[in-house]
Each structure stands twice: as structure tokens, then as C-alpha cells.
Amino acid sequence: MTPGAVPQPITNHLTNRNAQDQARSCTADTISTENYTLDTAFARISSAAAGSADQISEFKRTKYGFSAESLPLVETISPQLRQQITSDGEIPNAGARSGSEANSLPTSFRVAKELKDHLEHLWDSSLCNSTKRTYSSALQCFLSFVCMSGIMFQANCLPMVNESLLVYFVTHCKSVLKLKYETIKLYLAGIRFYYIRAGHGDMLKGCDQLNYVLRGIKRSQNNVTKKRLPITADILKQLWKVLDKGAFSPFVDLMLKCMFSCAYFGFLRCGEITCQNANSAQFLHVSDVSLGGDFYMLKLRTSKTDPFSRGVNITIYENTVFKPVHIMRSYLQVRNVLPCSSQSPLFINDEFSLVPMLRDTFIQHLRSLLMQIGLKDLEYAGHSFRIGAATAAAAAGVEDHIIKDLGRWTSDCYVRYIRTDSEVLRRAQQKLCNF
């Protein structure tokens, strides 16, 4: 016999054994999947252990017990899964797939870098810049809380989240960070956005405990909103007098008169004539103003109610009291003396910096003027012009649909901007006595 060769009796035994296994496997594979259950598997194990009369003659007993090769083959897995195992097939995962797995692409999928970059751009374009900044702050706050809680997660990956973690997070926001209910809700919306973007699905869906805790936060806080007072026509006249006497530089005084009249008669929001920071690309251009005879047209390329940046034109007509068209024409003449192009900012911080007018600078100038006329400056804000215009229009008897058009409101929410004087309410109650 050649060294290393298998003895013939053993070879014959292995050949016979393989033939028996193949026969048994074929018989097992013919079993219907519908009839194959765990109960049938246990039944076969029981019969195999007990044996039968016609099997006794085939059993080979050794000093260790019955030989395994003489025992009957009992399948404890489904024929399909057995076939996958023996053929080196991929074993399927048990249970339902998670949201990220269900949305994942096949490993063979190849995507061009340009297409991937464009997809990221579309994700970024789905939110305005201010919302993106808020959502980014929300995510950083949440990740900091997760790290402080001792939860480990991979860098550049979002941690696994469940309802209990979210409940403790909002509790942390309320008790430690002292955030208001509205801010906490906004933070949750930001976290939800990033998890949806990562393919993890809506992590706030079905969170009943979280909703009750949020309700508790809302009820426990003093949610009385401090209303901003309106800048009425009378206040605007007083501001005019201060600016005419000289409050800042001649250029800034003229520019503020132009901005105030533009915001008041155009029902403008503060963010529509100012910028959050000097690097912002969203500001009014010099070319956005078109002068007419007794009016000028201001083009808002972006605004709160125009998320898709279709643009809207605001027409402001001349009047004999504030003369907004005359002031705009005078301001443009002075503005064009400075370094200026059609794409230059219309309103600037001052004649030296030439950066777009910042919101903080605008509010600072406004409150400084309000203090000079004896008003509590902190009760007013940039939005006070829009509130004052709506209040004045309602007091003047302007029809509701006209007020909605002037303020570009698409619903009846404009009534929240109308401030009713206590004297008006008193006279209205007195009129009830006459009927």
C-alpha cells in the first residue's frame, strides 16, 4: 500500500456512507416547506432516539454506544436553508430589516462623485440657511448629551436612538439648559432631519412617552409670550424729527429714514432688509429697486413665505407725509457716489464698511432712537414696523383681504399682528349699552 493512501475498507465505507447521505438528503429536500415545522423536527428526533424494529439490525454498537453512522438522519433545519449552507450560499438574516438597511443600496452599486455631490447639494437646499444653522446647533447639543451620558458611537456616525434616550434629552434641555418648550421642539425637528437624511427613518414616530413629557414641559413653563409693540405712524413721525436733527452721520440718518419707510409701508420683516452676518449672501441689491413716477418697486428675491425663491415685488407709493419715494430716490443718489455696482448691497452698515446692513446694527440704531423719544426701547424690535403697519391698516378700516395682500399673508394669521388699543376696547364696550 502506498504511504499516505487510504485503506480500501475505509474507502469503501466512506463511499457507501456518502451514497446513503445523498439519498437521505434527496429525501429530505423533497419535503414540502409548508409541512416542515419545529414540531415535525422534534417528532423525528423522538422516533430516531427510540428506534424501530427494522432499524435494530442496522445498528452498530460499540463500547461507547451506538455508532453515529448507523443512526437515521434527522433534519432540524429547513431543506432550503440546508441547501444554502452546503452550497456556501449566503445565510439570510433573521427578523425584519431596519430602516437604514431597507434603504441601503446593493454593494455592487457604483455612483459618480458628481452625482453624489449634487445629492448633498439638494439635501442642503431643502432648508433655508437660518433653519440649517438651528438644526446644526440642535444636533451638536444632542451629540454632546449622548457623550456626557456615556454612550459610545463611531465618529461621523449617528448614535443609536430610542424613545427613552429622547425623553432624557428633552428633560436635560429643560432642566439643565433652561430651554423653552418651543426651542426644544425645534431641536427635536433638527435631530429628526439628520436621522432621516442618514437613512434611519423618523425617530419621533410613535413616541407617545415623549409627547407626554413635552406636554409636561409646556405646562410647567410660563409660556406667556412677550408681545412686541407696534411702531405706529405717530412714532415714525417722532423718529423722523430726531433723524432730521442728526442722530448719526448724514448718510446713516438718510439710510435709516429710507429703511424705516420701506419697512413700514412695505409691511416688511426685519430679515428682509437686513442680514444676520456680514458673510450672508442674502441681501437686497441696488438693482432690486426700480423707480417709477410716484412709486418704486422693491424686489424681494427671497423671503420667509417664498421658500423656493420665486421672488416677489413690493410696490410702495408716494405720500405727502413721509414721502417714501422721494427719500428712496435721494438715498440712491448718495449710495451711487460710494463704490457701488448693481449687485452691491442696497443698505449698508455705514459709508465706510460697505457691508450689508446687519440685523443687530439696525436694531441697535432703532432702539437708540426710541430711547431719545422717551420710549422703552426693549419693547420694540425690527418686526415692530410690520406690526405697526398691520395695526394702522386695521384701525383705518382697510379691508381684510387688502391687509393680507399688503403683508403677503396667505392665511388669517395677520390678525396676530394687529394690536388693539385699550381705549378702543373701552369705547366698543360702551357701544354695547346702546343696543
- CA dihedral 209→212→217→222, nearest 10 degrees, is 170
pLDDT above 90 (res 367) = yes
Share of the chain above pLDDT 90, in %: 31
Which residue would you say has higher pLDDT here, 292 or 410? 292
Spatial separation of the C-alpha atoms in residues 435 and 426, rounded to whole Å: 16
pLDDT of residue 97: 43
Buried b (16+ CB within 10 A) or exposed e, 52-89: eeeeeeeeeeeeeeeeeeeeeebbeebbeeeeeeeeee
pLDDT above 90 (res 127) = no
Q: Which CATH architecture group holds 113-220?
A: Orthogonal Bundle (1.10)
pLDDT above 80 (res 267) = yes
pLDDT of residue 30: 45
Spatial separation of the C-alpha atoms in residues 201 and 350, rounded to whole Å: 48
In terms of Cα–Cα distance, which of 266, 265, 280, 326 is closest to 129? 280
Parallel, antiparallel or unpaired: strands 312-317 and 295-300: antiparallel
Whether 113-220 shares its CATH topology with 233-424 is answered no
* Confidence band of 190 (pLDDT split at 50, 70, 90): very high
The average pLDDT across 417-432 equals 59
**pLDDT tens sequence across 8-54:** 544 454 455 555 545 454 444 444 445 556 566 556 554 554 455 55
The average pLDDT across 136-140 equals 93
Q: What is the mean pLDDT of the chain?
A: 78
pLDDT above 60 (res 414) = no
The average pLDDT across 261-269 equals 90
pLDDT of residue 222: 73
Spatial separation of the C-alpha atoms in residues 326 and 253, rounded to whole Å: 15
pLDDT above 60 (res 387) = yes
Which residue would you say has higher pLDDT here, 421 or 300? 300
| DSSP state, residue 156 | T
Which residue would you say has higher pLDDT here, 37 or 317? 317
pLDDT of residue 214: 93
Which residue would you say has higher pLDDT here, 109 or 323? 323
pLDDT of residue 301: 82
pLDDT above 50 (res 169) = yes
The average pLDDT across 376-396 equals 87
**pLDDT tens sequence across 151-165:** 888 888 899 999 999
pLDDT of residue 276: 84
pLDDT of residue 401: 75
pLDDT above 60 (res 259) = yes
- The structural domains of the chain, with segments of one domain joined by +, span 8-86, 113-220, 233-424
In this structure, the number of other CB atoms found within 10 A of the CB of residue 279 comes to: 8
pLDDT of residue 39: 64
In terms of Cα–Cα distance, which of 325, 333, 337 is closest to 297? 325
Of 179-183, 218-222, 326-330, which range is least confident?
Answer: 218-222
pLDDT above 80 (res 91) = no
**CATH no. of 233-424:** 1.10.443.10
* pTM (predicted TM-score): 0.58
Of the ranges 80-94, 258-272, 301-315, the best mean pLDDT one: 258-272
| DSSP state, residue 69 | G
pLDDT of residue 19: 52
The average pLDDT across 272-292 equals 85
The average pLDDT across 414-435 equals 59
Of 43-52, 199-208, 244-253, 282-291, which range is least confident?
Answer: 43-52
Which residue would you say has higher pLDDT here, 80 or 410? 410
Give backbone dihedrals phi and psi of 153, rounded to 5 degrees, phi first: -155, 160
* Confidence band of 227 (pLDDT split at 50, 70, 90): confident
Q: At what angle do helices 208-220 and 181-197 cross, to 10 degrees?
A: 150
